[in-house]
Structure formats: C-alpha cells, structure tokens
Structure 1
Amino acid sequence: MRVEDRMLIKNLAHTAEIVNTINGGMTEPVINIDKKETEWIVKVRVPGVSAEHLKIEVRDYEMFLFHIISEETTADIELPYLLSAIKLTSQVDFDGIMAEYQAGELSIHLPLDETASGYERDIEIFKK
C-alpha cells in the first residue's frame, strides 16, 4: 500500500469520526421483519440503548420506534429520536401487540386478524 493510500484512509476515518460526533454519535438500529401467516415479528437491535430508553407507538397503520433521549441534568426533559417507522397491514390485531426486550434485542409481536381495523396505542416493553 502506498503512503498516499494510507493517508487517504486515515483522513477518511478521521472525517467519519467528526461527522459521527456532529450528528450526536447515534448508531443505526438493525431491524428485521419476519412476516408469517399468523403474525409479524419485528426484531430490533439498537447498540448502546437500553429498554428504558425505547418507546413504541402505533398510530393507525404505522408503528414508530423511538429512542428517548433524556437530559441527565434535568430529568423532566425527554426528547424522542425516531429510529424507524414501519408500515403495518390492516390485518394487524392492535390489541394483541406485545414487545419484549431480552439480551439487547427488542422483539415486537404483531398478531394478524382479518377483521382488524385502525387503532392507536403505546406498546409497553417487557424485560426478561
């Protein structure tokens, strides 16, 4: 490897570090959706974020996943940072939605029901 190539790589790494710091140092969540006949299972990994700082909201046919950022000096101020918005099918049974957090992974179970219609609800996350 030439000296110029090494310098370029070093400069790119330094620039990425600066951009990451400017953008708040947030990491992207890893989201996998397994669509089965009877339910959808959404698996989410958000490195460095605990279950206490995650929030799930369902509004009509969309599910929103937030990282709640709270200021350490003033616990009264909480800022929601949108991690993902997932379009849902009209067949989701909104009353049956359940979320659990285990070993750094959030699993959201979305049971399907052919007679379901729009709904609005916050989903509680259970820790195992």
Structure 2
Amino acid sequence: MKFISPKFIRTIAPQLDLLNTIGGGVAQPQLRIDQRPKGVIVRVAMPTVSADSFRVVLNKQQLSVFGEYRHQPDDPLAAPLFMQTLDLPDNLDLARIDAVHEGSELHVRIPFLNPSDQQREIDIRHD
C-alpha cells in the first residue's frame, strides 16, 4: 500500500527545499567547471530548481550564479535558494558569455579570448 505518490513528492520537494533554506538551512548546488579547448563551461546542477529560477550576473571579473524561489513568476518577493560567486581569470572573453539550461543543469559557457594564446606543452624533438 502506497501512502505517498511520486507526483506528491515532485510537488512538495521544492517547497521543502525552500522551507529548509528559509529555516536557516542551505540548498547546495553541484558546481563543476570543465575546461575545453575553446573555453570553460560552468555547470550548475540543482534538480529541484526550475530553469526560470536560475540567475547569472557578471560584475567586472566576478560571475555570480544564484537561484531564487518565487511563489508566482511575477511575485516581487523572492527567497534565495543558493548563490555561488566565481572570480574569473583575465584570459576569458566576458563579452561572449552565454548560458543555457539543459536537462537539470545550467551551463554557463565562457570562451577564451584567443584560444591560440593558451598555454600548451611543446613536444621536444630528439635529433
């Protein structure tokens, strides 16, 4: 006999996470930074947070990724769910940052200024 349905769990999980956060708890996202040949990808996974709840703000060399909960989309009051701030290095092209929400992850893609100027190892020939 099932007392709690999967639909109920999916419906109540964001509210429980919000109540935990408001009550002094912290909703901790999984953050991973992947370096690629053309730039970096900041991946933020927070399964219970909808795509509309994520915000990405660039202020000089700092990138802030945060999530907020609003009871209604146009509600002026928002409760913070999480916030991560990263100091970005000078070799990234901050004018070309873009972000996309894929599946349950937010991907913030930041290309290098000039990929050919990146550090690379030089093969040593043996004569």
TM category (shorter chain) comes to 0.5 to 0.7
Relative distance call for 1:28 and 1:35 in structure 2 (3 A) is same
Structure 1: state its 5+ residue gaps.
1-19, 115-128
Asked if the contact 1:54–1:68 (Cα under 8 Å) also holds between the matched residues in 2, the reply is yes
RMSD: 2.2
SS at the partner of 1:77?
Answer: coil
> What code does the residue aligned with 2:40 have?
W
Q: TM-score scaled by structure 1?
A: 0.63
1:80-118: CA deviations, max 9, x gaps? 45420011111211121111111111111000105xxxx
Per-residue deviation at 1:47?
2.6
**After the TM superposition, which parts of structure 1 deviate over 3 Å for at least 4 consecutive aligned residues?**
79-82
Quick check: 1:23 aligned with 2:24? yes
Number of the residue aligned with 1:104: 104
% identical aligned pairs: 24
The worse-fitting range, judged by mean Cα deviation, of 31-40 and 50-59 is 31-40
In the TM superposition, what are the counterparts of 1:1-128 in structure 2 within 5 Å? 20=20, 22-24=23-25, 26-72=26-72, 75-114=75-114
1:37-93: CA deviations, max 9, x gaps? 420111110131111011000111110011122245x81223445420011111211
Structure 2: state its 5+ residue gaps.
1-19, 115-127
Count residues with an aligned counterpart. 93
